[in-house]
Structure 1
Amino acid sequence: MIEKRAIGPDILRGLAILLVMSWHMPWVDYPPFFQHIKDFGWLGVDVFFVLSGFLIGTELLKPVHAGQTPDLRVFYLKRAFRILPVFWLMVTIYALFPTLREREAMSPLWRYLTFTLNFGLDAKTFGTFTHAWSLCVEEHFYLILPAMVLILRRFKTPWPAIAAVATLLIGGMILRHHIWSLWHAAGGDGVKFFTWFYYPSYTRLDGLLIGVCMAGLRLFYPILWTQFARPRFTLPLAMLCLGVTGYMNQINGVILSETGSLVFYPLFSLGVASLLASLLAAERHIQPARWTALSYIAAISYSLYLSHKIVFHLDDLFMPKAWMTGWIQIAIYYVTSIAVASLLYFAVERTFMQMRNRLLARMKKPPQNTETAFKSIASDN
């Protein structure tokens, strides 16, 4: 029996990409209401991190819960077919057609291909395709989590896993606070804040780890999950965490205060995780959202994330200047970005996911005997 896809993560994914798009829109005059949304747009990436931690954590921990070893060959094959085709296409477009770049300079190609863009990134000097930094964090997570799972599954008690997660979370908080102090002492330069504090993987693991913890709790302690994941508990907690971090954002923005550098990311991630738990608990009530535009935007969100900046740039180049103001400009940006992302999704993403599914089906189908195995190998070669 195929497990029905939950709609809760898609609701958050759709909202997250719309927030990110608002943050990345060029700095011009906006209607006041949209400007308030834009002020929070940078938080969309952190919503993605929590979702990724929960979904990838669930995928890797399910076999452990069943007493099996995760098949990392299958895991990495699925990740490669899901992530690399559209990413490589966008990197190629940016590299071959400089006029399409939203900024003048682009980081060296090897930084994209090795997923090291987010270390030492100076977005003021190399301003093209900088949003790929978050994809680098994800790729590093795909290396760290499977290794942790393979090591920690050997223990019969959950305490080593709890200790490992606590060490990473608390260590990340202390490290961020130390980096913030160094940055503040160096004069509080905005570019250095992003380079030292915002982009590196070692400062941004909070959301991913909290998402994994959520997946582990749901799988290994279902009774506890059922008791405490109810909206009457998780929704007030989500509102509290998101309200506090929202207030911090209004006061200090993306460049956080000394206290914010310490607690902002884990607190915001806990709020997102609590909201996700509420949506999962209310799954049967929110199923109609599966047929909404938000669900479709969630489906194309990866292509939308990678391509929206280049579309914004093209709109500025080719659209009549009289249109590029107020709500008309906003509508043009979103409509054209969704159109291009839809093309990428159907032409590239779905094509490679179908190829992936066929390959996985062949891998799961064992040969019936020695003769059929020989024929299978011969045909593959």
Structure 2
Amino acid sequence: MVHRLPYLDYLRSIAILMVLLSHSVLSYGPDYWIFPLQTGGVGVDLFFVLSGWLIGNQLFKELKRNKTIDLKRFWLRRWLRTLPAYYAVLCFSIIYLNVTNEIFEFPFSYLIFIQNYQFPLSFFTISWSLCVEEQFYLFIAPFLLFSRKLNKHIKLNLILFLLILPSIFRYFELYGHHDETHVAWDCCIMGVLLAFIKHNYESFWDRLIKVNKVLIYVSFLGFLTVIASKYTDNFWIQTPSRFWLAIAFGSWVLWANTVKSKVKFIDNKVFVKLGSYIATRSYAMYLIHPEVLALCKQLFNHIPFPVYFILALLIVLAVSEMLYRLIELPFMNARENFEITRSTPRTPINANS
């Protein structure tokens, strides 16, 4: 049984609730007092840092244990984790569009996760982030495998270069859309960077933990300041670039892995179970929430926003539970039935890996 880290579950739960809140605002319609809450859309970037951290940890542990990375096993396990639910929702969307539209062109790009290079997306618009994730999986494991014999200082510099590379592409406008992978993976690489430091620079990791005791408050207050500033008529504070979000959310992930809570209610069993529940369903929630919000817009658009959001959340939780139970969980469990995808002995990690 996988041992879960509750604070990582809390972060994953916060990320999906931020995204749901942001998209609920867009669905509900223009309203001055809720408009700044759209900033919660950066919850996707928090997901990216978490993903980079969890995947990086797994791969660095495998490198230490086996001196190599089984690419086939890694990719198959990732695909059995992410693809079944994605294709289930995609099939539903395609069938619905095919029935309700006289002219419908089959979206082949959606089958191989390259639609984030074919904007604008006509449907399933959140799938751009899933493309970033899948393309990241295809890149990061071979990169770490083929660089395994390099000096750790050289590898650190290479990872740092990968971290700043999207900023370079953005500066020179070498992209067609800001959600293309090569300009959107800052946060994925930040997660890998943190995992690399933990596994290769223990003394620096310890110093980083001490520095983060201050940085976590700065990043959290800075995030709240960005939201609060949007309630002013002449706000000058903009939503940070993905590079700065990577640093801010990186501090959150570092905190979640090292904090020793002194606030009893946070460690309450009810909160821990709730965090675990939402975290394990977060992928399903992410996949289906746009369709649920489209339904809510038709049914509940004239009620107060807090009620609208709560109803949307409850429906999302109900539908995501079915998707998780019927699709995600069986395929995750099926990985243990085959030698090629069976998990190897591992130290405790977090979450749905």
TM-score by length of 1: 0.78
**Maintained 8 Å contact 1:239/1:271:** no
Q: Aligned-pair distance for 1:30?
A: 5.3
Q: Distance in 2 between matches of 1:358 and 1:301?
A: 25
Q: Aligned-pair distance for 1:197?
A: 4.0
Alignment map for 1:50-69 (pairs within 5 Å): 50-66=49-65, 68-69=67-68
Q: Aligned-pair distance for 1:41?
A: 1.5
State the number of aligned residues: 335
Q: Distance in 2 between matches of 1:104 and 1:293?
A: 44
Q: Could you tell me which residue of structure 2 aligns to residue 370 of structure 1?
A: none
**Maintained 8 Å contact 1:245/1:264:** no
Q: Aligned-pair distance for 1:311?
A: 1.1
Q: Distance in 1 between matches of 2:103 and 2:53?
A: 35
Q: Could you tell me which residue of structure 2 aligns to residue 21 of structure 1?
A: 20
List gaps (5 residues or longer) in structure 2. Answer: 232-236, 345-353
Q: Aligned-pair distance for 1:159?
A: 2.3
Structure 1 residue identity aligned to 2:154? P
The partner residue of 1:219 within 199, 206, 213 is 199
The partner residue of 1:280 within 252, 257, 280 is 257
Q: Could you tell me which residue of structure 1 aligns to residue 107 of structure 2?
A: 109
List gaps (5 residues or longer) in structure 1. Answer: 183-194, 254-258, 366-381
**Maintained 8 Å contact 2:336/2:342:** no
The partner residue of 1:141 within 123, 127, 136 is 136
Change (3 A) 1:105 1:152: farther
**Maintained 8 Å contact 1:241/1:267:** no
Q: Distance in 2 between matches of 1:24 and 1:301?
A: 15
The partner residue of 2:272 within 272, 277, 291 is 291
Structure 2 residue identity aligned to 1:356? R
Instruction: Say whether residues 1:308 and 2:306 are aligned partners.
Output: no
Change (3 A) 1:362 1:298: closer
Q: Aligned-pair distance for 1:4?
A: 2.6
Q: Distance in 2 between matches of 1:82 and 1:108?
A: 25
Change (3 A) 1:178 1:3: same
Change (3 A) 1:278 1:76: same
**Maintained 8 Å contact 2:6/2:275:** no
Instruction: Say whether residues 1:329 and 2:330 are aligned partners.
Output: no
Q: Aligned-pair distance for 1:251?
A: 6.7
Q: Aligned-pair distance for 1:299?
A: 1.0
Q: Distance in 1 between matches of 2:87 and 2:115?
A: 14
**Maintained 8 Å contact 2:80/2:332:** yes
**Maintained 8 Å contact 1:81/1:352:** yes
Q: Distance in 1 between matches of 2:260 and 2:40?
A: 26
**Maintained 8 Å contact 1:303/1:341:** yes
Q: What is the CA deviation profile of residues 199-228 of structure 1, one whole-angstrom value per residue up to 9, with x for unaligned ones?
A: 100101210111001011112223432343
Structure 2 residue identity aligned to 1:288? N
Q: Could you tell me which residue of structure 1 aligns to residue 322 of structure 2?
A: 343
Q: Root-mean-square deviation (CA), in Å? A: 3.3
Q: Aligned-pair distance for 1:175?
A: 1.3
Structure 1 residue identity aligned to 2:294? H
TM-score by length of 2: 0.83
Q: Could you tell me which residue of structure 2 aligns to residue 46 of structure 1?
A: 45
**Maintained 8 Å contact 1:315/1:333:** yes
Q: Could you tell me which residue of structure 1 aligns to residue 350 of structure 2?
A: none
**Maintained 8 Å contact 1:82/1:352:** yes
Q: Distance in 1 between matches of 2:7 and 2:99?
A: 35
Q: Aligned-pair distance for 1:95?
A: 0.4
Q: What is the CA deviation profile of residues 179-205 of structure 1, one whole-angstrom value per residue up to 9, with x for unaligned ones?
A: 1xx8xxxxxxxxxxxx83421001012
Instruction: Say whether residues 1:198 and 2:178 are aligned partners.
Output: yes
Change (3 A) 1:364 1:264: closer
Change (3 A) 1:321 1:223: closer
Q: Aligned-pair distance for 1:170?
A: 2.6
Q: Aligned-pair distance for 1:239?
A: 3.1
Alignment map for 1:364-375 (pairs within 5 Å): none
Q: What is the CA deviation profile of residues 207-266 of structure 1, one whole-angstrom value per residue up to 9, with x for unaligned ones?
A: 011100101111222343234314xx314213334545665677799xxxxx979x7222
Q: Distance in 1 between matches of 2:306 and 2:230?
A: 27
Bigger relative CO (Cα 8 Å, ≥ 6 apart): 2
Q: Could you tell me which residue of structure 2 aligns to residue 174 of structure 1?
A: 168
**Maintained 8 Å contact 1:241/1:271:** yes
Q: What is the CA deviation profile of residues 29-72 of structure 1, one whole-angstrom value per residue up to 9, with x for unaligned ones?
A: 5583x544x23121100000100000000111112223521122
**Maintained 8 Å contact 1:7/1:283:** no
Structure 2 residue identity aligned to 1:28? G
Change (3 A) 1:288 1:222: farther
Q: Distance in 1 between matches of 2:290 and 2:138?
A: 28
Structure 2 residue identity aligned to 1:139? E
Q: Distance in 1 between matches of 2:192 and 2:103?
A: 36
Q: Could you tell me which residue of structure 2 aligns to residue 229 of structure 1?
A: 209
**Maintained 8 Å contact 1:300/1:342:** yes
Instruction: Say whether residues 1:266 and 2:266 are aligned partners.
Output: no
Identity percentage of aligned residues: 26
Q: Distance in 1 between matches of 2:43 and 2:104?
A: 24
Q: Distance in 2 between matches of 1:83 and 1:202?
A: 21
Instruction: Say whether residues 1:161 and 2:163 are aligned partners.
Output: no
